[in-house]
């Protein structure tokens, strides 16, 4: 399984409009609904919040990675969003998050998908990788950067 099988151009938004954590979770989840990756927006969002309640997925480094294994996921997917001004995501370092990855996994997710996401998580720890994503101006460029994960 490759990361490029979980994300495609329609699942990328480079100018998120949200101003708060709740709003951005909704904005990203809406993209999943529009692309028929989830069956119920409201209940999916509840599942995302349930994970956040265990501890914010705003890990610092300007990154937030809300994620859930939910029965409302019909297609394993990854949404990427970018906020130019940053959004307060109750991050561990207190700084606003600018890069958002919403990970939607079905309850019985296969290990192949999880392997790709584990690699994404590992790459996000690297500053050069984050810098490239922060600088990316087009969706195509984002896909190109994410595809480098598949080559590792």
Which residues are designated catalytic? Answer: 67
Nearest approach, Cβ of 114 to other proteins (angstroms)? Answer: 5
**Rounded Cα gap, residues 129 and 78, in angstroms:** 17
Angle at 146 between CA 73 and CA 35, to 5 degrees: 30
β pairing state of 12-13 and 77-87: parallel
121 touches other proteins by CB under 8 A: yes
Per CB under 8 A, the segment of 9-17, 37-45, 116-124, 138-146 that binds other proteins is 116-124
How many CB atoms are closer than 10 A to CB 51? 16
Q: Closer CB to other proteins, residue 26 or residue 51?
A: 51
Q: Which of 3, 103, 136, 143 binds other proteins (CB under 8 A)?
A: 103
Per CB under 8 A, the segment of 8-16, 18-26, 33-41, 115-123 that binds other proteins is 115-123
59 touches other proteins by CB under 8 A: yes
Q: Closer CB to other proteins, residue 119 or residue 145?
A: 119
* Residue 32, token pair as written in the block: 């999943």
- The HSE-up count of residue 77 (CA atoms within 13 Å, CB side) is 26
Residues in the chain: 152
Binding track over 5-44 against other proteins, x by CB under 8 A: ----------------------------------------
Please provide the DSSP assignment of 65-100 as one string. --EEEETTBSS-EEEEEEEEEEEB---TTSPPEEEE
Residues that bind other proteins (CB under 8 A): 51, 54-55, 57, 59-60, 65, 67-69, 92-93, 103, 105, 109, 111, 114-115, 117-122, 124-126
């Amino acid at each position: 399984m490759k990361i490029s099988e979980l994300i495609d151009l329609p699942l990328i938004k480079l100018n998120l409009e949200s101003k708060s954590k709740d709003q951005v979770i909704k904005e990203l989840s809406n993209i999943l609904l529009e692309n028929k990756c989830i069956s119920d927006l409201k209940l999916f969002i509840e599942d995302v919040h349930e994970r956040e309640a265990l501890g914010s997925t705003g890990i610092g480094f300007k990154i937030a990675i809300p994620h859930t294994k939910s029965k409302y996921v019909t297609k394993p997917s990854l949404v990427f969003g970018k906020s130019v001004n940053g959004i307060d995501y109750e991050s561990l370092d207190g700084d606003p998050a600018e890069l958002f990855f919403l990970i939607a996994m079905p309850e019985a997710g296969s290990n192949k998908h999880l392997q790709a996401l584990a690699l994404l998580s590992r790459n996000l720890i690297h500053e050069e990788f984050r810098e490239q994503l922060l600088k990316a101006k087009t969706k195509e460029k984002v896909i190109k950067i994410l595809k480098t994960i598949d080559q590792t």
